[in-house]
């Protein structure tokens, strides 16, 4: 062409990985997996929070009592109404002009109770019986009234005495302090582990499908004429991983926003800690599984063959989840009072959670439950990092050897041996 | 321009027991259109993949400008693989820009180049569409744009004309010619030999992983024995055998195709023809590339 040569420069490795990751990110974020998946997950969490709130409401509040006051006892109406919430019930108080009118309202059912008499000696008129809580509240108010009257008569200020009484407290010396979030920790850990399992599964599948889609559309031949296989693989893992992380982040933040302020989760610290642990294990677990999935997926040329090619890896993930189930349920039981973990199970859990493919999911449960010694946590992270390094080498080798061999499924041993 | 030359030097490649390439050597000069012809399985695609670094050679060397080709210099090669492939569900412009960026271009000039090539190839209004929404022919044009838009120094196109309609063939030919005229080395393979003959500066005939002949079509012709069509209605059959060294290739009614060992025997052949009576036609038969191809391919035993 006669036009001046456009600006260009040699493509550095970092920019190659960036460009590939950017394309993956931009493409996947517009996909239905992302938008619909996020909306559905957030909606489910919102629904859960709403349901929980409804249940809490149902437990905490009974029906509102309609209580009428008539005569001098009306002086108790205000303190009675003020005391009601702290005693766990709701009242609607009203002044009733005369006792006769009040009695007829009780009979009609427009009042649950009519209180007559004096503040020191109230009488309750009810249809069938008086709720014990209401009765206790009224008695307590009446006693206080009598006490105040007597104190005034003895020349003491009721306010001063009440202040002194209020200042009395019981100091509790706890010999064995419970850990914050003892119960919620394992539950949040369990939820987080399930999210990890789900996300590694879903986004791992996006990786393996993407690898084979590039192979089946043959675009990979053009790509590999300008970038190295390792760069392509890394770019895919980073780009798709970031989309997964973003979705996980949106869901986790929405989860915290819905549950913490509404009181569904009582311990935001434990939840935030578990989310932080979960994010770390998602990153490490995703990279490890993505490399294994990409390597196995690159052995086939058609999208229909992906799931059969990646079976060894997906089975590993399913086994992880089964182990998580075995670990998590007793851990929750142990905290709720079902007794400590049996020594055998505890050893089993510890051993499996240190085997890299199982580590991310199992450790996220154990760490959220707060039972992992520091050295074990660090060792598990180191082991996973080491296996990521190993898989980067091995996976990139399998991928590079297979990605341009179209046609029949390639045997893993061939993919490892040949250097094309 | 002398340093801008693509050299394939004694490149060999085996697939298991099959020798795909055996010490294959040729060169593509700057500003040259080099046509790569050969039967299926001759090693054309393997050669191109090795040049692109998509495959590794077992032996031999590919040089660009006199130095062995590296990963960085490969990014200056525009490639159109035999198996066409882009992202089906990605936008046309979007993926052109992406591929240009992967060849080291910055985003802004990449967008300008993509727009320019889509305009040039008659796809200006299709840039926003998904590739899979385009017809096969138009997808092929996008594929050509993908190979060209980052202004490569070398163009390597595997069967660029296959599956094109006549209009698209003209567009493709014009673009390739124009690229070569701009000083780019263009290597392409094709089974459409008439097209290769018209278009190429030089041609390489490959078979069984060996280069059987390489050169301009004119040069290839000089290697073959001269042939003459003689229309002598009164001649008895076998008249041409009186001429020393002559062989009758074919007889079509009164016309005889005679092959001579050397071009200086033509006068003796004409005299022999005139001796039989009137001569209506006496013409040197210029072999087409197809004929040269067939003769070269059949002369050489398979490897």
Q: What is the pLDDT of residues A296-315, one digit of tens each?
A: 999 998 889 999 999 999 99
* Structural domain includes residue B302: no
In B, which residues are within 8 Å of A219 by CB distance?
85-87
**Parallel/antiparallel/unpaired status of strands B185-189 and B77-80:** unpaired
Burial (CB count <10 Å: 0-12, 13-18, 19+), residue B143: buried
Residue B126 sits in the same domain as residue B169: yes
Partner residues linked to B79 by β-bridges = B156
CA–CA separation, B6 and B62 (whole Å): 7
Band of pLDDT at residue A274, cut at 50, 70 and 90? confident
* Structural domain includes residue B292: no
Residue B118 sits in the same domain as residue B251: no
* Structural domain includes residue B250: yes
Does the beta carbon of A4 lie under 8 angstroms from any beta carbon of chain B?
Answer: no
The domain in which residue B136 lies consists of 5-220
In A, which residues are within 8 Å of B86 by CB distance?
217, 219, 222
* pLDDT tops 60 at residue A351: yes
**Can you list the domains of chain A with their CATH numbers?**
64-153 (3.40.190.10), 181-417 (no CATH)
> What are the distances in angstroms from CA A402 to CA A59, A205, A237?
61, 18, 17
CA–CA separation, A239 and A81 (whole Å): 60
pLDDT at B79: 94
Q: Which of B52, B86, B101 sits opposite A19 (nearest CB)?
A: B101
- The alpha-carbon gap from B184 to the nearest alpha carbon of chain A, in Å, equals 10
Find, among B180, B154, B175, the residue nearest to B164 by Cα. Answer: B175
Does the beta carbon of A17 lie under 8 angstroms from any beta carbon of chain B?
Answer: no
Contact at CB, A420 and B150, closer than 8 angstroms: no
User: Looking at chain A, which residue has its C-alpha nearest residue B70?
Assistant: A226
* Structural domain includes residue B295: no
Q: Which of B163, B191, B220 is the last residue of a domain?
A: B220
Mean pLDDT value across chain A:
81
Burial (CB count <10 Å: 0-12, 13-18, 19+), residue A347: exposed
Q: Which of B196, B220, B244 is the last residue of a domain?
A: B220
Residue B108 sits in the same domain as residue B244: no
Between A396 and A377, where is the model more confident?
A377
Residue B215 sits in the same domain as residue B254: no
pLDDT at B22: 94
Contact present, A281 and A196 (Cβ < 8 Å): yes
* Structural domain includes residue B301: no
Please provide the distance, in angstroms rounded to a whole number, between the alpha carbons at the two ends of chain A.
Answer: 36
Band of pLDDT at residue B12, cut at 50, 70 and 90? very high
Q: Is the ipTM of this complex over 0.85?
A: no
Q: Which of B168, B190, B220 is the last residue of a domain?
A: B220
Percent of chain A with pLDDT over 90: 24
pLDDT at B125: 93
Q: Which of A5, A226, A404 sits opposite B102 (nearest CB)?
A: A226
Mean pLDDT value across chain B:
89
Does the beta carbon of B31 lie under 8 angstroms from any beta carbon of chain A?
Answer: no
pLDDT at B161: 92
* pLDDT tops 80 at residue B196: yes
C-beta pairs of B114-120 under 8 Å, 24+ apart in sequence: B114/B145, B114/B149, B116/A3, B116/B149, B117/B145, B117/B148, B117/B149, B118/B92, B118/B93, B118/B142, B118/B145, B120/B175
Total tally of structural domains belonging to chain B: 2
**Which of A158-162, A240-244, A413-417 has maximum average pLDDT?**
A240-244
pLDDT at A3: 45
Does the beta carbon of B62 lie under 8 angstroms from any beta carbon of chain A?
Answer: no
Contact at CB, A218 and B84, closer than 8 angstroms: yes
Contact present, A142 and A135 (Cβ < 8 Å): no
pLDDT at B295: 81
* pLDDT tops 70 at residue A181: no
**In this structure, what token pair is assigned to residue A268?**
């935001």
* pLDDT tops 70 at residue B303: no
What are the φ/ψ torsions at residue A135 (nearest 5 degrees)?
Answer: -60, -50
Does the beta carbon of B144 lie under 8 angstroms from any beta carbon of chain A?
Answer: no
Note the pLDDT tens digit of each residue in A75-116: 888 888 887 777 767 788 888 888 888 888 888 888 888 888
- Which stretch of A215-219, B99-103, B152-156 has the lowest confidence by average pLDDT? A215-219
pTM of the full structure: 0.74
**In this structure, what token pair is assigned to residue B172?**
């493709």
pLDDT at A380: 94
Residue B91 sits in the same domain as residue B9: yes
* pLDDT tops 50 at residue A169: yes
A344 alpha carbon, distance to own chain's centre: 29
Residue B74 sits in the same domain as residue B160: yes
pLDDT at A411: 85
Partner residues linked to A95 by β-bridges = A69
pLDDT at B300: 58
Residue B247 sits in the same domain as residue B112: no
Helix/strand/coil (H/E/C) assignment for every residue in A275-289? HHHHHHHHHHHHHHH
**Kind and range of the H or E run holding B67:** strand B67-68
* Structural domain includes residue B57: yes
- Domain of B271, CATH number, reads 3.30.70.860
In A, which residues are within 8 Å of B87 by CB distance?
214, 217, 219
Average pLDDT over residues A163-173: 72
Partner residues linked to B189 by β-bridges = B36, B158
Contact at CB, B86 and A224, closer than 8 angstroms: no
* Structural domain includes residue B294: no
Helices (H), chain B: 44-52, 71-74, 92-102, 107-120, 136-148, 166-181, 193-199, 217-222, 266-274, 289-299
- Domain of B14, CATH number, reads 3.40.50.300
**In this structure, what token pair is assigned to residue A129?**
């019986």
Residue B112 sits in the same domain as residue B187: yes
- Number of cross-chain residue pairs from A and B with Cβ atoms under 8 Å apart: 87
The contacts of residue A122 (CB under 8 Å, 6+ apart) are A73, A76, A115, A116, A138, A142
pLDDT at A62: 56
pLDDT at B34: 96
Between A269 and B65, where is the model more confident?
B65
pLDDT at A2: 40
Contact present, B168 and B141 (Cβ < 8 Å): yes
pLDDT at A315: 93
**Parallel/antiparallel/unpaired status of strands A121-126 and A113-118:** antiparallel
Does the beta carbon of A8 lie under 8 angstroms from any beta carbon of chain B?
Answer: yes
Between B104 and A417, where is the model more confident?
B104
Contact present, A24 and A243 (Cβ < 8 Å): yes
Percent of chain B with pLDDT over 90: 56
**Kind and range of the H or E run holding A223:** helix A219-223
| Cα angle, residue B166 at apex, residues B164 and B167 outer, rounded to 5° | 95
| Beta-carbon-side half-sphere exposure of residue A312 (alpha carbons within 13 Å) | 9
* pLDDT tops 70 at residue B144: yes
Residue B200 sits in the same domain as residue B236: no
* pLDDT tops 90 at residue B92: yes
* Structural domain includes residue B296: no
Residue B159 sits in the same domain as residue B186: yes
Average pLDDT over residues A234-251: 92
Residue B206 sits in the same domain as residue B261: no
Residue B203 sits in the same domain as residue B254: no
User: Looking at chain B, which residue has its C-alpha nearest residue A220?
Assistant: B85
- The alpha-carbon gap from A216 to the nearest alpha carbon of chain B, in Å, equals 9
């Amino acid at each position: 062409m006669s036009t001046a040569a456009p600006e260009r420069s040699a493509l550095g490795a970092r920019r190659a990985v960036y460009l590939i990751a950017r394309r993956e990110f931009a493409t996947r974020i517009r996909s239905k997996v992302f938008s619909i998946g996020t909306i559905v997950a957030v909606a489910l969490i919102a629904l859960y929070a709403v349901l929980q709130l409804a249940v809490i409401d149902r437990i905490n509040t009974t029906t509102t009592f309609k209580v009428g006051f008539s005569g001098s006892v009306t002086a108790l109406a205000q303190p009675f109404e003020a005391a009601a919430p702290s005693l766990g019930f709701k009242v609607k108080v009203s002044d009733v002009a005369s006792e006769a009118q009040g009695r007829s309202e009780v009979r009609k059912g427009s009042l649950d109770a009519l209180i007559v008499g004096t503040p020191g000696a109230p009488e309750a008129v009810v249809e069938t019986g008086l709720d014990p809580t209401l009765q206790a509240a009224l008695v307590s108010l009446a006693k206080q009234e009598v006490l105040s009257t007597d104190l005034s008569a003895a020349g003491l200020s009721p306010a001063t005495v009440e202040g002194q009484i209020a200042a009395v407290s019981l100091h509790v010396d706890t010999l064995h302090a419970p850990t914050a979030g003892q119960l919620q920790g394992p539950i949040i850990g369990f939820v987080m582990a399930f999210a990890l399992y789900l996300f590694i599964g879903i986004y791992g599948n996006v990786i393996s499908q993407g690898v084979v889609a590039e192979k089946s559309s043959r675009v990979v031949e053009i790509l590999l004429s300008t970038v190295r296989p390792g760069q392509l693989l890394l770019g895919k893992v980073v780009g798709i991983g970031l989309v997964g992380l973003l979705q996980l982040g949106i869901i986790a933040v929405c989860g915290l926003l819905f549950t913490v302020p509404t009181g569904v989760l009582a311990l935001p610290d434990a939840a935030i800690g578990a989310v932080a642990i979960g994010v770390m294990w998602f990153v490490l677990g995703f990279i490890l599984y993505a490399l294994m999935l990409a390597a196995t997926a690159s052995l086939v040329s058609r999208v229909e063959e992906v799931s059969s090619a990646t079976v060894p890896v997906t089975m590993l993930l399913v086994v992880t989840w089964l182990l998580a189930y075995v670990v998590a349920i007793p851990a929750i039981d142990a905290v709720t009072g079902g007794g400590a973990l049996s020594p055998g199970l505890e050893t089993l859990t510890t051993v499996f959670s240190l085997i890299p493919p199982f580590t991310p999911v199992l450790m996220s449960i154990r760490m959220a439950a707060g039972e992992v010694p520091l050295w074990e946590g660090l060792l598990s992270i180191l082991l996973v990092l080491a296996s990521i390094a190993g898989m980067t080498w091995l996976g990139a080798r399998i991928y590079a050897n297979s990605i341009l061999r179209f046609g029949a499924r390639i045997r893993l041993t061939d993919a490892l041996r040949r250097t094309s | 321009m002398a340093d801008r030359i693509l050299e394939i030097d004694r490149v060999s490649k085996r697939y298991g027991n099959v020798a795909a390439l055996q010490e294959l050597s040729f060169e593509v000069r700057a500003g040259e259109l080099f046509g790569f012809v050969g039967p299926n399985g001759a090693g054309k695609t393997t050669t191109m993949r090795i040049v692109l670094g998509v495959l590794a050679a077992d032996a031999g060397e590919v040089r660009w400008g006199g130095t062995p080709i590296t990963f960085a210099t490969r990014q200056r090669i525009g490639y159109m693989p035999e198996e066409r492939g882009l992202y089906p569900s990605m936008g046309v412009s979007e993926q052109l820009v992406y591929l240009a960026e992967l060849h080291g271009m910055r985003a802004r000039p990449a967008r300008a180049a993509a727009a320019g090539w889509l305009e040039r190839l008659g796809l200006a209004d299709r840039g926003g569409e998904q590739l899979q929404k385009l017809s096969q022919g138009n997808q092929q044009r996008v594929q050509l744009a993908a190979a060209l838009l980052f202004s490569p120094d070398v163009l390597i196109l595997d069967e660029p004309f296959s599956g094109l309609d006549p209009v698209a063939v003209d567009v493709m030919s014009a673009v390739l010619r124009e690229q070569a005229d701009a000083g780019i080395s263009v290597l392409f393979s094709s089974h459409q030999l008439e097209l290769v003959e018209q278009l190429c500066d030089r041609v390489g005939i490959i078979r069984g992983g060996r280069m059987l002949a390489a050169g301009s079509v004119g040069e290839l012709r000089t290697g073959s024995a001269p042939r003459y069509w003689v229309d002598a209605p009164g001649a008895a059959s076998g008249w041409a055998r009186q001429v020393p060294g002559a062989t009758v290739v074919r007889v079509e009614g009164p016309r005889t195709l005679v092959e001579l060992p050397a071009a200086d025997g033509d006068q003796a052949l004409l005299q022999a023809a005139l001796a039989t009576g009137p001569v209506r036609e006496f013409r040197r038969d210029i072999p087409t590339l197809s004929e040269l191809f067939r003769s070269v391919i059949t002369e050489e035993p398979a490897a």
